[in-house]
Amino acid sequence: MQTADIDVSAIPVTMRAAVYRGESVVSVEEIPTPAIGRGEILVRVEACGICHTDLKKIEYNLLDPPRIYGHETAGVVAAVGSDVTRFRPGDRVVAFHHIPCLNCFYCQRKFYAQCPVYKRVGITAGFEPAGGGFAQYVRVMDWIVERGVEKIPDGVSFERATLVEPLNTCLKAVVQCDPQPGDFVVVLGQGPIGLIFTMLARRTGARVAVTDTIPERLAIATRCGAEFAWDPRSVNLSAEIKKRTERRGADLVIVAASVPGIVQQAIACSRPGARILLFAQTSPAERIEASGADICAEERTLFGCYSASVDLQKESAALVFSGALPLEELISHRLPLVKICSGFDLALHPGPKSLKIIVQPQRWL
């Protein structure tokens, strides 16, 4: 595997970063380039995807400032600390910002996202660790270096590599849902995450129907494997699904968007005994109302899945790197760091042509 050219002596003392300052404000500033210690690596960030979990933290001021967000990070190893043997300057890598301890109560039961070590963010560009990918360099801490960094093969773009982490989160959920060949699966919402769900569900042999209010996203969903693609404002979703399932309803519904009433919609279009996955309901302020009979008497399973699985890390990387999925369909914008707030606005208010937005911190214009 080839490495990129890196002049370790050329690592700057300061760098540009998008710093969250509170009150939903993010500003591009010059700050010190992070120093690394034993067992750590410094990565020059070439691309970082904008994720809605970071946007929620910024929009609703969920964490104290200052912080540098961004966790879908791909780049080049710029320097390595003592005791690092698996990586060297010039290696092209993607890094996960959460890795579990593998020993605690939750890890033993494979609820990795609940592990106290997992909840500690292991990548920072400065300040309290928060991912740091919206900066030119990030410090990757030792426990992440040990188990949370994957090398990017030759010929794979940094932009594509940023999708390893989000794809892992979706793959974890699909494994948990366990759709069977012939199952009728509905994916509500066809943003980047919903589209990944569509691709992965189709790979299981399930029949896939999707919804979104943006026609262009429905067209992409069809190319990604959806058999049916509907705007829920213009069709009776429950009736359309029952028409195609011998009047039963969907076997599995994946809720990949967060709008009022969407969980009730998921229940309405599913059959008794169905599984309903909540994937986008991450805000503590969000409340869900449902009929007890819809869950209890009709024996539906309503459950959640959150974040990535270390068990699926290599599989998710292989899916992204191999080209087995049409992931390039997802990337709509590549923006320099100075335009990151425009990227946030695009992600929060998507238009016909906006999907996954990638920030390229080494670009200035």
- Do 136 and 72 form a contact (C-beta atoms < 8 A)? no
Q: Quote the pTM value.
A: 0.96
Least confident among 95-109, 186-200, 278-292: 278-292
The answer to whether 334 and 358 have CB atoms below 8 angstroms apart is yes
E strands in the chain: 14-22, 25-32, 41-49, 72-80, 92-95, 123-124, 137-140, 149-151, 184-188, 207-211, 228-230, 250-255, 270-278, 301-304, 331-336, 356-360
Question: Rounded to an integer, what is the distance from CA 248 to the centroid of its chain?
Answer: 32
Indicate whether 8 pLDDT > 80.
no
Q: What phi and psi, each to the nearest 5 degrees, are found at residue 226?
A: -70, 130
pLDDT at 203 over 90: yes
pLDDT band, residue 364 (cuts 50/70/90): confident
CA-CA distance, 343 to 357, in Å (whole number)? 6
Mean pLDDT of 341-363: 96
Which one, of 218, 300, 181, lies nearest residue 209 by Cα? 218
Q: Is the per-residue pLDDT at 5 higher than 80?
A: no
Q: Is the pLDDT of residue 26 over 90?
A: yes
Band of the pLDDT at 117, cuts 50, 70, 90?
A: very high
AA identity, residue 125: A
Residue keyed to tokens 């969920």: 62
Q: What tens digit of pLDDT does each residue of 61-116 get?
A: 999 999 999 999 999 999 999 999 999 999 999 999 999 999 999 999 999 999 99
> For the packed helices 192-203 and 215-223, what is the interaxial angle rounded to 10 degrees?
30
Q: Which residues contact 108 (CB under 8 A, 6 or more apart)?
A: none
Q: 1 pLDDT band (50/70/90 cuts)?
A: low
